[in-house]
């Protein structure tokens, strides 16, 4: 029976020949992930289960990245709980300050993700890893606890959607614009509990970093997971991160999809998602004169070295507008080190930006960039819900890196062409 990549991965991990939409299955997991917000509740539930060990010491990843470095006593206690749990059960992959990074950038970078893997994480943006041909999805802390104990989790097999991108990208259009445009077209519930498979000649040309950006935001359309096929670029990336053994999985040509969407990217210009939904998208040319107080470049969506290079290209030789705070967040320590090697750090500091250690901080309104009442921010993050970055009466506009950098210079939402 014809199957998509997602169906094949789920079937394999359930010990079945095939997996059909709507079917309830129990799957073995390859990796369980938690951060400093979601791990503590999972740890408490794990202890209540009463088991004496975790299912696999090497397959659990604990990454303190949301409130790290600890912003207050409560966040310090959360991270301490993770640290002590890792020590107690011999969990290998606990990432201390100084070697950590934003979880969804760190794991692919360190070679922890392989095509064909089944990955769950107590964070909604765990869907990021579909960029490498894995099935990955977010779960609750209780599911994380059960998986740490048993190595298993149950799913309802999602229906399948296919997104085909053709044409030639306009200047300054990035992967972030493709996914924002897509969410704008189908809505924040347009893929609710469905698999979003991204294909087409435009996708074939995207870097793995760009694919990670698109897969990351599948959840913003309600998707159960986002996924890409394995190609030469996937193999090249995996070789770079020392992943050598993995299955070559592809969707069958006659696999069934609930719906297929075709987009000509020549019609897509840089997008800006207005408050308070990622689907409230508008072309940057239609943004008018929206003044901003803050620009944030980074997060698990756009904090990789590819993103930093784009930002530096815009900011080199320019100054951040005196009324704007520009905060730049490299997603991992390796990205930060590469920024130093390439001279990007100097460009950012001379431009007047604040460059942070890797953290999710401002993305969720946690720290290091919280907005006050009435303030507006443009950000390369993934959500702009009410109060997402601070005060309930603040506003967040989502964009690609080039637009966020150009806006920081212009003092308003702007395209690089406006500078």
pLDDT at position 96? 86
Are residue 169 and residue 254 in the same domain, yes or no?
A: yes
Residue after which a domain boundary falls, among 223, 238, 263: 263
Q: 191, 129, 200: which is closest to 160 by C-alpha?
A: 191
- Residues 6 or more apart in contact with residue 73 via CB below 8 angstroms: none
Taking residue 10's Cβ as centre, other Cβ atoms within 10 Å add up to: 25
Are residue 205 and residue 64 in the same domain, yes or no?
A: yes
Q: 200, 191, 126, 124: which is closest to 161 by C-alpha?
A: 191
Are residue 322 and residue 370 in the same domain, yes or no?
A: yes
Residue after which a domain boundary falls, among 205, 229, 263: 263
Q: What is the per-residue DSSP string for 134-149?
A: -EEEE--HHHHHHHHH
Q: At what angle do helices 305-315 and 344-351 cross, to 10 degrees?
A: 50
Are residue 119 and residue 199 in the same domain, yes or no?
A: yes
The reply, when asked if residue 99 is annotated as ligand binding, is no
pLDDT at position 145? 97
Residue after which a domain boundary falls, among 233, 263, 293: 263
Residue 258 maps to which CATH number? 3.30.499.10
Q: 107, 36, 68: which is closest to 359 by C-alpha?
A: 68
Are residue 47 and residue 65 in the same domain, yes or no?
A: yes
Are residue 124 and residue 246 in the same domain, yes or no?
A: yes
Instruction: Please give the Cα distance from 113 to 132 (Å, whole number).
Output: 7
Tokens (6 digits) for 273? 């998602």
**What are the percentages of helix, strand and coil residues in the chain, rounded to 5?**
40, 20, 40
Determine how β-strand 152-156 pairs with β-strand 24-28: antiparallel
Are residue 170 and residue 313 in the same domain, yes or no?
A: no
Q: Encode pLDDT of 349-403 as tens digits.
A: 999 999 989 998 888 888 889 999 999 999 999 999 999 999 999 999 999 999 9
Alpha helix ranges (H) inside 298-343: 299-302, 305-315, 333-342
Q: What is the per-residue DSSP string for 70-130?
A: T-SHHHHHHHHHHHHHHHHHT-SEE--TTT-B-HHHHHHHTT---TT-EEEESSGGGGGGG
Are residue 167 and residue 290 in the same domain, yes or no?
A: no
Q: Encode pLDDT of 322-350 as tens digits.
A: 999 999 999 999 999 999 999 999 999 99
- Total domains present in the chain: 2
Backbone angles phi, psi at 320, to 5 degrees: -65, 140
Question: Which residues of the chain are under the pLDDT cut of 70?
Answer: none
Are residue 338 and residue 367 in the same domain, yes or no?
A: yes
Are residue 145 and residue 224 in the same domain, yes or no?
A: yes
Determine how β-strand 31-35 pairs with β-strand 24-28: unpaired
- What domain range is 166 assigned to? 5-263
- Residues 6 or more apart in contact with residue 92 via CB below 8 angstroms: 57, 58
Determine how β-strand 225-228 pairs with β-strand 194-199: parallel
Instruction: Please give the Cα distance from 398 to 241 (Å, whole number).
Output: 30
pLDDT at position 363? 84
Are residue 276 and residue 193 in the same domain, yes or no?
A: no
The reply, when asked if residue 127 is annotated as ligand binding, is no
Are residue 227 and residue 291 in the same domain, yes or no?
A: no
Tokens (6 digits) for 126? 């765990």
């Amino acid at each position: 029976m014809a199957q998509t990549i997602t169906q094949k991965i789920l079937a394999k991990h359930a010990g079945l020949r095939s997996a059909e939409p709507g079917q309830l299955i129990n799957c073995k997991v390859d990796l369980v992930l938690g951060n400093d917000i979601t791990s503590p509740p999972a740890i408490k539930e794990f202890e209540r289960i009463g088991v004496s060990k975790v299912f696999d010491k090497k397959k659990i990843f604990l990454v303190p990245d949301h409130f790290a470095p600890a912003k207050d006593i409560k966040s310090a206690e959360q991270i301490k709980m993770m640290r002590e749990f890792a020590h107690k059960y011999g969990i290998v992959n606990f990432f201390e300050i100084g070697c950590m990074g934003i979880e969804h950038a760190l794991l692919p970078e360190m070679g922890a993700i392989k095509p064909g893997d089944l990955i769950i994480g107590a964070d909604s943006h765990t869907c990021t890893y579909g960029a490498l041909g894995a099935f990955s999805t977010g779960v609750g802390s209780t599911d994380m606890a059960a998986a740490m104990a048993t190595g298993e989790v149950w799913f309802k097999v999602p229906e399948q959607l296919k997104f085909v991108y053709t044409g030639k990208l306009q200047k300054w259009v990035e992967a972030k614009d493709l996914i924002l445009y897509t969410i704008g077209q189908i809505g924040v519930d347009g893929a609710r509990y469905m698999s979003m498979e991204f294909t087409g000649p435009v996708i074939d040309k995207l870097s793995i970093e760009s694919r990670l950006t698109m897969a990351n935001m599948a959840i913003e359309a309600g998707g159960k997971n986002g996924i890409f096929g394995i190609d030469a670029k996937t193999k090249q990336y995996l070789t770079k991160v020392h992943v050598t053994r993995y299955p070559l999985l592809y969707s069958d040509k006659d696999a069934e999809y609930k719906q297929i969407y075709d987009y000509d990217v020549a019609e897509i210009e840089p997008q800006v998602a207005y408050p308070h939904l990622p689907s409230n998208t508008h072309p940057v040319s239609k943004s008018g004169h929206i003044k901003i107080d803050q620009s944030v470049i980074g997060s698990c969506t756009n904090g990789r070295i590819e993103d930093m290079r784009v930002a530096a290209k815009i900011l080199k030789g320019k100054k951040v507008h005196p009324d704007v705070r520009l905060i730049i967040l490299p997603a991992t320590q390796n990205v930060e080190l590469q920024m130093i090697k390439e001279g990007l750090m100097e460009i950012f500091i001379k431009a007047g930006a604040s460059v942070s250690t890797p953290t999710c901080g401002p993305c969720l309104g946690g720290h290091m960039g919280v907005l006050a009442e009435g303030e507006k921010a443009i950000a390369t993050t993934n959500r702009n819900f009410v109060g997402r970055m601070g005060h309930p009466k603040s506003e967040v506009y989502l964009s690609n890196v080039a637009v966020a950098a150009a806006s920081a210079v212009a003092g308003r939402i702007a395209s690089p062409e406006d500078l």
